Structure 1
Amino acid sequence: MIHLNRREMLVSSVALFALGACRGQSVHTTQARVGYLRTQGPIVDLGIDSAAIEQGNIKLFPFESGNDVLEAIMADGIDVGETGEVQPIFAQSAGHKVKVVGSTEPAALTSMLVRDDAPLRNIADLKGRKVSFIAGTNSHWLLLRALDRAGLKQGDIAPVSLGGSDGLSALFSGDIDALVMTAPTTQIAVSNGARVLFNNRGLTNSALYYVAKDSTIAKRPELIEGFLRALSQHIRWTAQNPDRFIDVAVKDLGVTPDVGRALLNVLPKKLVPVGDGAVGTYNQQIADAFAAQGLIPGRIEAAQSVSGEFDKVLTP
């Protein structure tokens, strides 16, 4: 279970301020207001705020999901936000003017979990099984890709929508057969009797995207640039200081050193350029898959919602 640490308790009042802005109050600030995923990703619990203070003024706002982050971006509650790979697709298909301005490298952040004693051994074994995932997220994207690899469709499984602790409880009680989950919950679950049936490697990138409105990119590029520079340096520092990472994970996430070590193994080790065409091409695959499922109205040109303007800040 993920517990709020000291920093999250401190920023909770700031988060309320950001959500107030989401209700229609326009906020002008010299600080980069950054929304991050509270239970995953390179920002959570690992001191990006301290690193960022040296780069410029950055305020962090924790959110539960990429959908919540995207909503805050559209409401001008934050300037840039951390999401999964799927949220920008839905934003573009809805006509929102947002762009992916940064991305982590591909990483094994998303996994299909089963109970350790389950008879399931490969993707094809999911046929006819109760599989839990959250629609319109990276977990859904991984499921679609995995089923396609095995010659199956979403209709070949019994979909269930449970996440977090509810999903894990259902898995361990036998109410569902499999569950798509992300780090660090995956590592915690494995330490408590779950087994990874497969992860996203070779199927999806499971990258984390950093997204901003077109208007923010045009009017306040320095906010985005300062944040991405700080984040790039922070991710590399984490990779180069594994013992420190594990100490912080044990303290702030409440996990064992072994779980902290397993988490470090799957976290991305750097940001990558988004303006070289690779992200746009990959996003097109996501968009086409979701269009085929009828989850977005029709085909979009996904590359139009990627901006390489800030690739220059990446640490060499």
Structure 2
Amino acid sequence: MLLLQRKSFWLGSVCLFLIGATGYFLLSKQKGEMSTVRVGVSLTPTASPFLIAERLKLFEKHSLDVSLFPCVSGSACTQLMLDHNVDYATASESVVMFQSHEHNELALLVSFVESDNDLKLLTLGPNNIRNVAQLKGKRVGLIKGTASEFYFDSILLANDLKGLDVKKVYLDANDLVPALLSYRVEAISAWEPMGYQANLHSAAEVINLGTRGVYQLSFNLLSTTPYLEFVGDEPTRLLSALNEAIQWININPEQARILVAERLNIPVNQVEWSWQDYVFRLSLGNSLLSNLQFQARWADEAGLVAGPNPDFRDVFYSRPYQQATLQRY
């Protein structure tokens, strides 16, 4: 009997400790005390606001202990978040569109960088392909369910070639450039820095068949509503740190490129390759909403999604952005 009483006392103590620890964790986040935050980030120059905020200790300034978890694509980052391995993820709006069809808890907090030239449709000189129409019957490497596929279909549409007979070859992000250079595919639809890598490693001429401005890429910060409902002002502080980093980037672009190159352990000229195409700013507006809606219609027509399209206004989790914006004035 005494042994049973001791076990019951021990188990009760453990439960009280866990309840107390959980309560303290949530309360500390709600009060704006130091929060431990995990962010899945594609480690490319598009992540510059996170890299600069990390380097300048802007996260600490806003009581955030941020760890950046590298992933090869926005899809991979988002999956890390959905698997609860990170709290936030960075991804293109294409990933947001696809994932919103499958996960109604997805929350889009803000867009932090845009580019109208980050996606490119690349081929090699020996393939003797000089325009999009000549891709008929060819193999095109794509990353399924991402901006890569949407951009390629947008290029076909812009060239009045929507029904062109091409063979889509779905590949992982790490395999796209090797597939092009080894002639396993005749073209790839790829985002930076894959364009830079193809030009760097190819012995043959790299030709861009794409058109600038056909697609406006944005990278966005995502989380889930169940997580955000219990962390108080943490996302507002995170966005405030990113906003300060963006302001610093726009004032000190040359120094920013150097710091980003150091953090990514790449040459500065690789960062400079596409830097002029990036617009770093926090935004969450109608243009992003329209882009999501347009891509959802495309995915539906292409048979890439099932069921009705979500109302993306419900995906926008705007309160932290509004609060962070108000703090600027």
| Partner SS for 1:174 | coil
Give the equivalent residue in structure 1 for 2:209: 197
- Within the candidate set 30, 47, 53, 2:60 is matched to 53
Deviation at 1:170, TM superposition (A): 2.4
Secondary structure in structure 2 of the residue aligned to 1:269: strand
Go from structure 1 to structure 2 and tell me whether the alpha carbon gap of 1:40 and 1:162 turns closer, same or farther (over 3 Å shift): farther
Q: Name the stretch that deviates more: 281-290 or 56-65.
A: 56-65
Q: Residue 20 of structure 1 corresponds to which residue in structure 2?
A: none
Partner of 1:32: helix, strand, or coil?
strand
* RMSD of aligned residue pairs (Cα, Å): 2.6
For structure 1, list consecutive stretches of 5 or more residues without a partner in the other structure: 1-26
Q: By how many angstroms is 1:152 displaced?
A: 2.6
Instruction: Give the alignment partner of residue 77 of structure 2, picking from 69, 72, 78.
Output: 69
Name the counterpart of 1:98. 106
Q: 1:207 aligns with which of 213, 218, 233?
A: 218
Question: Hey, what's the Cα distance between the residues in 2 that align with 1:163 and 1:70?
Answer: 15
* Structure 2 CA distance for aligned equivalents of residues 241 and 116 of structure 1: 38
Q: Deviations over 1:142-186 (max 9, x none)?
A: 112111222234762111123445322222232221112222232
Task: Report deviation, 1:292.
Answer: 1.2
Residues 80/177 of structure 1: CA separation in 2 closer, same or farther (3 Å cut)? same
Quote how far apart the aligned CAs of 1:118 are. Answer: 4.7
Determine the C-alpha separation between the residues in 1 that align with 2:79 and 2:175. Answer: 24
The structure number with the bigger radius of gyration is 2
1:243 aligns with 2:254: yes
Cα separation, 1, equivalents of 2:127 and 2:256: 33
Equivalent residue, structure 2, for 1:143: 152
1:306 to 283, 304, 316: 316
Match of 1:288 in 2: 297
Equivalent runs, 1:1-316 vs 2, <5 Å:
30-39=35-44, 41-43=46-48, 46-49=51-54, 50-57=57-64, 58-107=66-115, 108-116=117-125, 118-153=127-162, 156-193=165-202, 194-198=206-210, 201-272=212-283, 274=284, 276-300=285-309, 301-312=311-322, 313-314=324-325
What is the DSSP-based 3-state SS (H/G/I as helix, E as strand, rest coil) of the residue aligned with 1:212?
strand
- Identical counterparts, % of pairs: 20
The one-letter amino acid paired with 1:90 is F
CA change 1:141–1:40 in 2 (3 A) is farther
SS in 2 for 1:156: coil
1:173 and 1:91, CA in 2 relative to 1: closer, same or farther beyond 3 A? closer
Alignment check: 8 A CA contact 1:42 1:235 kept: no
State the alpha-carbon separation in 2 of the partners of residues 44 and 277 from structure 1.
22
Residues in 2 aligned to 1:34 and 1:252: alpha-carbon distance in whole angstroms: 16
* Cα distance, 1:74–1:251 mapped onto 2, change above 3 Å: closer
Instruction: Provide, for residues 54-95 of structure 1, a one-character-per-residue CA deviation record: whole Å limited to 9, x for no partner.
Output: 222122222222222222322333222101212222222114
CA distance in 1, matches of 2:226, 2:39: 16
* Contact preservation (8 Å) 1:144, 1:154: no
Summarize the Cα distance change of 1:157–1:221 in structure 2 as closer, same or farther, 3 Å threshold: farther
Provide closer, same or farther for how the CA distance between residues 237 and 188 of structure 1 changes in structure 2, counting only shifts above 3 A: farther
* Structure (1 or 2) with the greater helix fraction: 2
CA–CA distance in structure 1, aligned partners of residues 49 and 171 of structure 2: 22
Query: 1:261-299 CA distances to partner (integer Å, 9 max, x unpaired)?
Result: 113223332222x1x333222211111111111111133
State the AA in 1 paired with 2:259. V
Equivalent position of 1:3 in the other structure: none
Where 1:204 maps in the other structure, the secondary structure is coil
Amino acid at match of 1:84: S
Distance in 2 of aligned mates of 1:240 and 1:122: 39
